Structure 1
Amino acid sequence: MSKLNNPNAEGYTVVRGLWKLYYNQGERNYIAPKRCNGTYDDHKFVVWPIAVASQAVVDGARIYPELKPLIPAACEIFFKYKNQSKHAYSATENKDNDIYYDDNAQIASCLITAYEVTGNPQYLAQGRELVDFLMTGWNNDPKAATKGGMLWHISKSLLNACTTAEVAKACLQLSRFVKDGKRYIDFAIKCIQWQFNVLQDPSDKLIMDGVGKGETNVSEVKYSYNLGTTLTAASHIYQITKDEYWLKKATELAEAGINRNVFFYDRDFPDHLRYWRDGSYFNQLLIEGLADYLLYCDDAVSNEFGLKIQEEIKRHLIMFYEFMKDPKGGLYIQSFEPHNTYKEVYDAKYKNWFGDGKGWGLKGEDKGDDGNPQYCLMGLGAAARVFFQGARVAPNIDY
């Protein structure tokens, strides 16, 4: 029976799989063979899973140069969704005003990473144009009950954690490559300080989901990706400023991210069996945040704590590989919960790992129209990133 030894190699396999399954040369886009999660018009994808999948391609090309020829096609897809008047990208290909700032922040991050990997200045220019648009989404409304924060959508009043942190992350990426980088650093600092002031729960240090600008009651849902993206940005700010405040805040977030008593762990089990219960599309950003913390904070992180982070990521990579991988097709659904998986995988492994804790099921987002497990673009892009980002901390796994 195969085991996960090299997470980067597994990520590479998933990228190759998603490209073969979804990239359509004639359409010059990702096209679903049949309707699945994240599609509209039955076969086209909204821009969020496109951003995740294309980021996975670029991440893979950083490690495996033979993937570099895919980058132009992977990034070209975005421009089918571009609203030229807004200099931003709509959720669907009709280029309307359905523009989400968090989707666009992920596109900006992908484009800037594509510049890092290829050196093509076109990607840097496109990323900068998009970051400049993103910065216009800051809530400057003097009548707003909640001041500051990044809007979620150009026509909605919700101020979201994911948007605010992902815009900060893109700003910090960009700051490394432009002469006026301080402007982008300052904006990122403003974003993340707002997260701490408004959305951080002081009791567990997690980042809550958002608040309407006309409201003061914050949504208390605490997804793993909100912590992960905030952690990435706070850690990067520390690396730039060397201000101990940012190290302290980043460390608080990192400690919360692997605290098995917090909201996004499944706490129906004893401590040693608890796991992140969000989908792979959220958990990939938590893993990235933890890896970024170790990268950017480096010598300021104790060996003991660094090892603890490494072991927690490794444990989740193993579980994801063992339970979410299709035993026939070899690719992945979006679930991160071992009981919400392929029936044959559940039957073969679940009780040996988790006892009688939970019965078998399948999440709706992982089902096709026939009720059977089905891949989707988001799930494959996220799975590749789970392995690529996890490999930064745990490049070799022996278990």
Structure 2
Amino acid sequence: MLFSRLLLSLSPLIALSSSQPIGKRDGTITSESAYSSALGTTWSNFWNPAQNAWNLNDQICPGYGYSSPVVWNVAVASKVIIDSGNAQQIQLVVNDILQYQNSAGYFSATTARDDDVYLDDDSQVMWVLIGAYQALGNQAYLTAAQTLMNNIMSQWNPTVGGVNEHVNADYVASISTLEAALAAVKLYEVSPNQDLVTFAENCITWISKTLQDPNDHLIYDGIAPSTGQINDGKLTYTVGVMISTLAYLNKITGQSSYIDQAIVLGNAATNAQGAFYTPQGFWNNELQYVEFLFAGFADLLNIGTATTSTQQAAFSSYTTEVYQQATYLFNFFQVGTSGAYVDDVFTASQDIFTKYTTAFPNSGTFATDASNFCGGTLGGTVQTSLLTQASATEIFYQLSRIT
């Protein structure tokens, strides 16, 4: 869907001199960790038992009501539950996401089940279906995933290549192409088919030749087939998803070149002078985008195999960087100690702003926004969004995977 893809605007920061622990460095999570806290808050604040569905509205607010989210939000939140391994909740969230499936086997943007289909969103639905099949063994989930994968592959653009962003639309997005590739290799894990590997490799090759900036190695947003015009915007999620896909391809094929390719991307993404950093060293994308970069590094470190000293050194540096970035989010983007997270410390609440500017003096001014509070009451209870909250939870889940 055509969401605004603006970077989170942060002023120059200073490096953290100390960090609160958010989990053991061996990857295990304590009961008081950021992951378990964020996970519990995601479920309690946004799963609506009366509707048996995710709620767009933050249920911490009195009289919150119910509003059906778009499928992107539902996919991200549902993957959080898949990752938790809670079988009862997995069943519930899959039943919910199936309400978006249309007669052709695509998943529509809304429960209208119409032809308003975005291929990047559907690829994320694929991840949910595959994970649910792995957790519960329900063959119907695998069948739905296979049908959806065939649909996604049919959206390879005949003019310029790559996967269309929207069904039959005149725009090929890097994220739709890369998330489709990642869906293919994830499906291969549970239902091996060489065509899936070939498709993923074709996606990676097309991105490298068509939408990867040869100067900083980051990835452009997409291309319009009718004009050949490239949208040169760059966000963390494309890099993260491509790193994940390369890690899977390394695991499947054993080819070390995929690790080398992932390291080029990883080094580009962790270049402190690059597009993804504030001047003082923190990732500047919104949580809904940066969660995929955390996932990319977690996949690379867990699935990929470093066979050379250069590769091993890169893996070590990524572990350190991911911990620094996650600690920053834990310390400054959390609402108190609630496990709830916001995207903007300059508008969320006076308390969050004060804590932030105490650590980073003269970093910005507070611009109160009534939409950040329950009922629009300035200074009242801070509310967050389903997508932001689920993304934060996914970030700390990915942190827990890194050893």
Structure 1 and Structure 2 fold alike (TM over 0.5): yes
The residue that corresponds to 1:279 in the other structure is 286
The answer on whether the counterparts of 1:254 and 1:293 sit within 8 Å (CA) in structure 2 is: no
Instruction: Report the Cα offset of residue 346 of structure 1.
Output: 2.3
1:319-357: per-residue Cα shift (whole Å, max 9, x none)? 11111111164411234xx545432122134342x3323
Q: Distance in 1 between matches of 2:129 and 2:341?
A: 25
The residue that corresponds to 1:318 in the other structure is 327
Per the alignment, in what secondary structure is the counterpart of residue 228 of structure 2? coil
Q: Does 1:71 align with 2:90?
A: yes
The answer on whether the counterparts of 2:57 and 2:66 sit within 8 Å (CA) in structure 1 is: no
Per the alignment, in what secondary structure is the counterpart of residue 214 of structure 1? coil
1:128-167: per-residue Cα shift (whole Å, max 9, x none)? 1211111111102xxx3xx101000014211001100000
Q: 1:178 to 1:32 in 2, by over 3 A?
A: closer
Q: Point out where structure 2 has 5 or more consecutive residues left out of the alignment.
A: 1-18
1:278-322: per-residue Cα shift (whole Å, max 9, x none)? 111111100111111222332336443222111111011111111
Q: Distance in 2 between matches of 1:164 and 1:170?
A: 10
The residue that corresponds to 1:81 in the other structure is 100
Q: Does 1:228 align with 2:240?
A: yes
Percent identity of paired positions between Structure 1 and Structure 2: 23
Q: Point out where structure 1 has 5 or more consecutive residues left out of the alignment.
A: 62-66, 395-399
The residue that corresponds to 1:217 in the other structure is 229
The answer on whether the counterparts of 2:184 and 2:200 sit within 8 Å (CA) in structure 1 is: yes
Q: Distance in 1 between matches of 2:73 and 2:323?
A: 25
The residue that corresponds to 2:146 in the other structure is 128
Which segment is superposed worse, 95-104 or 289-298? 289-298
RMSD: 2.5
Q: Distance in 2 between matches of 1:366 and 1:193?
A: 42
Q: 1:19 to 1:34 in 2, by over 3 A?
A: closer
1:161-192: per-residue Cα shift (whole Å, max 9, x none)? 1100000001001112224x101000011111
The residue that corresponds to 1:296 in the other structure is 303
Q: 1:321 to 1:77 in 2, by over 3 A?
A: same
Within the candidate set 206, 210, 215, 1:203 is matched to 215
The alignment covers a number of residue pairs equal to: 369
Which segment is superposed worse, 343-352 or 216-225? 343-352
Report the TM-score when normalising by structure 2.
Answer: 0.85
Q: Distance in 2 between matches of 1:119 and 1:319?
A: 38
The residue that corresponds to 1:167 in the other structure is 180
Q: Does 1:358 align with 2:370?
A: no
Q: Distance in 2 between matches of 1:239 and 1:101?
A: 25
The answer on whether the counterparts of 1:339 and 1:350 sit within 8 Å (CA) in structure 2 is: no
Q: Distance in 1 between matches of 2:110 and 2:366?
A: 35
Q: Distance in 1 between matches of 2:58 and 2:20?
A: 31
Instruction: Report the Cα offset of residue 211 of structure 1.
Output: 0.8
Q: Distance in 1 between matches of 2:377 and 2:288?
A: 21
